[in-house]
Amino acid sequence: AILAVSIAVARAAADELQVPLYNYIGGFNAHVLPTPMMNVINGGAHSDNKVDFQEFMIMPVGAPTVKEAIRMGSETFHHLQK
């Protein structure tokens, strides 16, 4: 419920200021997309392995583009599956 309320408030604020939602959230000078975070290993009580941690996530910091960051994350995920 918190996410739905947060989105509704952000949309209402953007409408009130008469700006697109992405400008309201990212600011008028935001020109860079955030670095994606990716879950590469699942663990915990509900997994098939004996890893104690619930999940392992990576952030491909330094990737020149979002497309490249997703490629890096995908390759890491598939390499770890072997």
Residue ranges covered by each domain of the chain: 1-31, 33-82
Q: Record the pTM.
A: 0.58
The band of 15, judged by pLDDT with boundaries at 50, 70 and 90, is very high
- As to burial, measured by CB atoms within 10 angstroms (0-12 exposed, 13-18 middle, 19+ buried), residue 73 is buried
Share of the chain above pLDDT 70, in %: 100
Taking only Cα atoms into account, the Rg of the chain, rounded to an integer number of angstroms, comes to 18
40 SS3 class? strand
